[in-house]
Amino acid sequence: MTRIGKRFAQLKKEKRKALITFVTAGDPDLALTERLIPSMAAAGADIMELGMPFSDPMADGPTIQLSSERALAGGTTLAAILAMVKRVRETCDVPILLMGYFNPVFAFGQERFCKEAAAAGVDGVLLVDLPPEEAVEFGRLARGAGVDLISLLTPTSDQSRIARVKRVAAGFVYYVSVAGVTGARATVAADIGAMVETIRSRVSLPVAVGFGISTPEQAATVARVADGVVVGSALVKLFEEHRGEELVERVCAAVKGLRGGVDGAA
Amino acid sequence: MTYPDKHGHFGQFGGRYVSETLMPALLELEEAYRKYKNDREFKAEFDYYLRQYVGRPNPLYYAEKLTKRLGGAKIYLKREDLNHTGAHKVNNTIGQGLLAKRMGKRRVIAETGAGQHGVATATIAALMGMECEVFMGAEDIQRQSLNVFRMKLLGAKVTAVTSGTATLKDAMNEALRNWVTTIRDTFYVIGTVAGPHPYPMMVRDFQAVIGREARAQHMKAEGRLPDVLVAAVGGGSNALGLFYPFLKDASVRMVGVEASGYGIPSGKHAAPLCAGSVGVLHGNKTYLLQDEDGQIAHAHSISAGLDYPGVGPEHSWLKDTGRAEYVSITDDEALEGFKALTREEGIIPALESSHAIAHVLKLAPTLPKEQSIVVCLSGRGDKDMHTVAQAMGVSL
């Protein structure tokens, strides 16, 4: 079991829900990401989701598109992200999940990526544009290396999709709460609870919900029905206005607020 | 064996590299397409619109004057430029539009580069009574203002895409983002033989009318098959439409012409088959322009329709299996092709098609007079007047 599975198991024992936070690795540079990870963990993030920037982020809204552009402009590469994770691992045990698109991983080499990610201390990988049908080889390599391949389900997923995802999913299932791209939204979709129940009953893994969750109140709403809450764009938005130590403080304050929302809901 | 396989793979290429949200829609589309492609009524309706609305069959024209000037193989032009809306794109949008109607979708979206596919989609949306939104790179909107105006006249909403390089690839990103959000009532009309399965197969099948007609017309004119087929390749739909019905005819050479912009050594080109590497973009695995980290590189071509860093996966397959060969033509050479056809035959070709003509200028003189070349004249050049004038230093 990776750190991800262990964290979910521990939280379950404590009757708490997971707060999963997304930032883009290398926005604006990797030195900042390296400082952020332990600080965000201390502020209450259970699992760190790090975006691997891609030039053509088709599933992302404007906030994460701009964040990816900033990270790439800063020279962020996959090799440098893995080296950064390795340094963080010397002092920090927070579960780390890399999220991104398939092409940079394919260019890096699927086998090399899985091996080096595992060696660096990465616990899970989520590739947005690699559905189960195309994930056969990558899934085998990830399993072999001891890295969880996190799968997505969405409001458009029917029974056959859930069954297909069940065959490859590891760690937890990431339920995308809206048919759309990433980004903050005014309200949380109403039918989340029923879908989470359906998924949980068919796939024996924790279910975390993401896309469109930005405030502590929304996090609380989702935490009532799901095993975990993913927040991305609301944090990434802070990178547009702040820099350096101030940015770290702002992000951690936001994480604390979200933690309060998640815990208050239990 | 016929390609693609059941998951949409052409060898290692193709596939469905999309987010899970899109998977049910792609599976639904594939099921609908497989159901209707052999449906008598659907086929009859498709044929009806191609004949009565598009004006097919268009001629296979013997370019006698150009042939004599070059002194080699006979040159035949497949006149897709004579289609309604001025390019081959409409063959595909008629097919997808009829499918969208049968699937009960009330809205269509499309990406466009040169604007030809956008116009063809806006046209069928008007014809079939569907709402239409076209995503177009802000830079292309500048280059192709005439087509933007045409789309608006046809009732479409044209949305400028400013992200990334503000060209065709970014328009496709934005169309995919919109589709994911509107998936329940919207049909995404992809304009080329790229994107996730089943699009490369479906668009190829709709465009194969080009090759089927050319084959029969050439048989009638010459009593035999042509020796060489030549077509421009951006995403590659006109080329595949021409090539596909000849794939099993081993004697027929197939040449796809990519755009090498300022020249391949300059790095400013749009020739992934000639100078790219294998990767995954826009839902399929194919040859791409990318850096060593797998970030997609900027494409460049004088022709907005070829200005794309990827190519349809079946072309990647045809390249690797050696069934087709791929060459490239620079911006300057394409302009020479443009001028040659205009002056020799009185036919003003689109800049995309001018790349194919430019290659014929090189190829025809090397072949014996008994041989013949069929070149796909994929579109007419009216839309390119501003670009060509600018390249010639003329202000309109």
Domain count, chain A: 1
Could you tell me if B94 and B53 are in contact, meaning their C-beta atoms sit under 8 angstroms apart? yes
Whether A217 sits among the annotated catalytic residues: the reply is no
Check A58 against B24: CB less than 8 A apart: no
| The predicted structure's pLDDT at residue B271 | 98
Averaged pLDDT for residues A52-69: 95
| The predicted structure's pLDDT at residue A138 | 97
Using pLDDT thresholds of 50, 70 and 90, give the confidence band for residue B126: very high
Averaged pLDDT for residues A110-126: 98
d(CA B132, CA B130): 6
Average pLDDT of chain B?
Answer: 96
Given a cut of 60, whether residue B372 has pLDDT beyond it is: yes
Using CA atoms, how far residue A210 sits from A122, A155, A198, A226, in Å, is 20, 12, 17, 10
| The predicted structure's pLDDT at residue A265 | 67
Picking from B161, B165, B98, the residue whose alpha carbon sits closest to that of residue B127 is: B98
The number of residues making up chain A comes to: 266
Nearest-by-CA chain A residue for B25: A156
d(CA A61, CA A185): 11
Q: How many CB atoms lie within 10 A of CB A250?
A: 15
Whether A60 sits among the annotated catalytic residues: the reply is yes
Given a cut of 90, whether residue A266 has pLDDT beyond it is: no
Given a cut of 80, whether residue B366 has pLDDT beyond it is: yes
Given a cut of 80, whether residue A84 has pLDDT beyond it is: yes
Boundaries of domain holding A30: 3-263
Give residue-wise pLDDT tens across range A186-242: 777 778 999 999 999 999 999 999 988 999 999 999 999 999 999 999 999 999 999
The pTM assigned to this predicted structure is: 0.96
| CATH of residue A94 | 3.20.20.70
Using pLDDT thresholds of 50, 70 and 90, give the confidence band for residue A181: confident
Could you tell me if B277 and B287 are in contact, meaning their C-beta atoms sit under 8 angstroms apart? yes
Averaged pLDDT for residues B367-390: 95
d(CA B121, CA B102): 16
Q: Are strands B60-62 and B74-79 parallel, antiparallel or unpaired?
A: antiparallel
* Residues β-bridged to residue A209: A175, A229
Q: How many helices (H) and strands (E) are present in chain B, helices listed first?
A: 16, 14
Give residue-wise pLDDT tens across range B142-200: 878 889 999 999 999 999 999 888 889 999 999 999 998 898 899 999 999 999 999 99
Could you tell me if A51 and A100 are in contact, meaning their C-beta atoms sit under 8 angstroms apart? yes
Regarding an ipTM greater than 0.90, the answer is yes
| The predicted structure's pLDDT at residue B1 | 58
Given a cut of 90, whether residue B289 has pLDDT beyond it is: yes
Q: Which two tokens stand for residue A117?
A: 């990610």
Average pLDDT of chain A?
Answer: 95
Give residue-wise pLDDT tens across range B75-112: 999 999 999 999 999 999 999 999 999 999 999 999 99
Using pLDDT thresholds of 50, 70 and 90, give the confidence band for residue A185: confident
Give which of A129, A137, A168 to mutate to test B binding, by max B Cβ within 10 Å.
A129
Residues belonging to chain B with any Cβ–Cβ distance to chain A shorter than 8 Å? 7, 15-21, 23-25, 163-164, 169-170, 173, 176-177, 180-181, 183-184, 279-283, 288, 290, 292-296
| The predicted structure's pLDDT at residue A92 | 97
d(CA B324, CA B253): 7
Could you tell me if B67 and B364 are in contact, meaning their C-beta atoms sit under 8 angstroms apart? yes
Averaged pLDDT for residues A11-20: 97
Percentage, residues of chain A above pLDDT 70: 99
